[in-house]
Copies of this chain bind each other. A is one copy, B any other.
Amino acid sequence: MSANSPDDLADMIHGLGARARTAASVLALAPTETKNRALMSAASALRRRVAAILDANIDDLAAAGADLSPAMRDRLILNGQRIEAMASGLEMIAALPDPIGHIDSQTTRPNGLEISRVRVPLGVIGIIYESRPNVTADAAGLCLKAGNAAILRGGSESAKSSRAILAALQDGLTEAGLPIDAVQLVPTQDRAAVGLLLRLDSFIDVIIPRGGKSLIERVAAESRIPVLKHLDGICHVYLDRDADPVKARAVTLNAKMRRTGVCGAAETLLVDRGALPMLPDVLSDLIVAGCEIRGDDVVRRLDSRVLPASADDWATEYLAPIISVRVVEGVAGAIEHIALYGSHHTEAIVTENAVTAEHFMAAIDSAILLWNASTQFADGGEFGMGAEIGISTGKLHARGPVGVNELTSYKYLVRGSGQVRL
């Protein structure tokens, strides 16, 4: 489908929104079993359609051609295993408890009014993402479980793959008797479509951008719709003077090197001056594992393999096997550094001193604070949420992992017997 004029494009986006709103009003009242049937049927349809999805993916890869960096190619490519992961992901979402209808609280007022706060869907969720085609299934599945309609806008590189995945999702909706407009893809790669989507505040309740910093900044600047931000993770590990050296080595190595491309990977290691004796072993572990170290002068004097850190390093999310290392004066120095350079995502302290640990966790304004554990635990699955759409670094509505519960709102139901207000 193509849009020939700005008016056609505006009509197309308006139509998407209107159909999503209508679908959302059906989904809001859909029983749990119906939503789960749609998820399970969509999982079967993904497996049934493996060949078609792989063909579409090969077309996408061919169209992208040599422009693709190896990292982008890895994000875009699908295989049988990755499609199976999408299918079992949908089954896992089906197995989660349904958040809709949950009663958060219930009180009876002195005048006899019974007031309940009950979970309801957010409504229509717009998700703007980049090259990973699996987001199409994961995000749509989470939205559907929480009774929301989804409008998805994927990257141009993955357009055909996403459309092939969408067909499977719509099979699932049809088999469950739910409207296929519950999950829609923006059917054009025209960049103006995103601008139109971000102004569709009469139909879309929340926008979730998933991707690089420039995408998220564009969305935040242009959107008239509330945004659930998933910004960068400049995550810190702080080694305190009271750290257990064995834990310091294990936590630092894992926080940096388990996977370097995830938002919960550590980017900066802060070392209490009183913890310097344990630093050489920590640095050696990292270097042996293939990590580049950029340190301040004190750190460089400890190990000749350490490169010099510049001021920019403290504000950089490498998403690569590189770590910046700085010596600070105790926990106060760590808190001060993180307030200046952190991104309010995830920070860890290694210490055996409970007072120091609790102070660190109370004083730092981040979504996730860990004591003697790796920052790589910043993940909805590890938190027991089953699946996540990302890690929110904003403070409104949802902070930290955004799972199925975070894709809901609430309303108040007040049951009376004719009460009037004095």
B421 A374 Cβ-Cβ under 8 A? yes
Instruction: Look across to chain B and name the residue whose beta carbon is closest to the beta carbon of A122.
Output: B395
Q: Could you tell me if A377 and B224 are in contact, using CB atoms closer than 8 angstroms? A: no
Contact A419 B368 (CB under 8 A): no
| 0/1 interface trace, chain A 349-384, chain B, CB 8 Å (1 if under) | 000000001000111011111111110110100111
A1 at the interface (CB under 8 A from B): no
Q: Which residues of B contact A113 (CB under 8 A)?
A: 373, 377, 382
Q: Give residues in A with beta carbon < 8 Å to B.
A: 25, 28-29, 107, 109, 113, 115, 120, 122-123, 201, 205-206, 220-221, 224, 226-228, 244, 246-247, 250-251, 253-255, 258, 339, 357, 361-363, 365-374, 376-377, 379, 382-384, 394-397, 399-400, 409-421
Q: Are B25 and A339 in contact (CB under 8 A)?
A: yes
A-B contact pairs, 22 of them (CB 8 A): A25-B339, A28-B365, A29-B362, A29-B363, A109-B383, A113-B373, A123-B365, A226-B227, A228-B396, A247-B418, A361-B413, A365-B411, A372-B416, A372-B418, A373-B415, A373-B418, A373-B419, A374-B420, A374-B421, A377-B421, A399-B409, A399-B411
Q: In the docked arrangement, what's the CA distance between A221 and B107, Å?
A: 37
Verify A414–B122 contact, CB threshold 8 A.
no
- Chain B residues near A417 (CB-CB < 8 A): 247, 372-373
Contacts of A109 in B (CB 8 A): 382-384
CB distance from A131 to the nearest CB of B (A): 25
- The CA-CA distance from A373 to B205 in the complex, in Å, is 29
Q: How far is the CB of A215 from chain B (nearest CB, A)?
A: 16
Which residues does chain B contribute within 8 Å of A383, judged by CB atoms?
109, 115, 412
Chain B residues with CB below 8 A from A339, complex form: 25
B395 adjacent to A123 (CB under 8 Å): yes
Copies of the polypeptide in the assembly? 2
Min Cβ gap A157→B in Å is 29
Contact A396–B399 (Cβ < 8 Å): no
Identify which of B254, B368, B371, B396 contacts A205 (C-beta below 8 A): B396
Instruction: Please tell me if the beta carbons of A258 and B412 are within 8 angstroms of each other in the complex.
Output: no
Taking the closest CB of chain B, its distance from the CB of A330, in whole angstroms, is 17
Nearest Cβ distance between residue A125 and chain B, in whole angstroms? 11
Chain B contacts for A221, CB-based, 8 A: 224
Q: Are B370 and A416 in contact (CB under 8 A)?
A: yes
What separation, in Å, do the CA atoms of A373 and B220 have in the docked complex? Answer: 41
Task: Return the chain B residue nearest A254 by Cβ.
Answer: B420
- Give the complex CA separation of A152 and B187 in angstroms: 44
Closest 6 CB pairs of A and B: A373-B416, A254-B420, A247-B418, A395-B409, A397-B397, A376-B421
Point out the residue from B250, B368, B420 that lies within 8 Å of A418, measured CB to CB. Answer: B250
How many angstroms between the C-alpha atoms of A361 and B298 in the bound complex? 65
User: What's the least CB distance linking A307 to chain B, in Å?
Assistant: 26
In the complex, A251→B419 CA distance in Å?
7
Beta-carbon contact of B418 and A251 below 8 Å:
yes
| A371-B416 contact in complex given A122-B395, A205-B395, A226-B396, C-beta closer than 8 Å | yes
Residue of B nearest to A28 (CB): B365
In the complex, the answer to whether A414 meets B29 with C-beta atoms within 8 Å is: no
The interface residues of chain B lying within 8 Å CB-to-CB of A120 are 365
Tell whether, in the assembled complex, residue A371 and residue B421 are in contact, meaning their CB atoms are under 8 Å apart. no
Residues of B near A379 (CB, < 8 A) are 421
A253 to B415, CA, bound (A): 18
Known: A122-B395, A220-B224, A411-B366. A258 touches B421 (CB 8 A): yes
CA distance A179 to B362 in the complex (A): 19
Residue of A367, A395, A417 contacting most chain B CB atoms (<10 Å): A395
Whether A420 contacts B365 in the complex (CB less than 8 A), given A123-B395, A339-B25, comes out as: no
Shortest A18–chain B CB gap in Å is 13
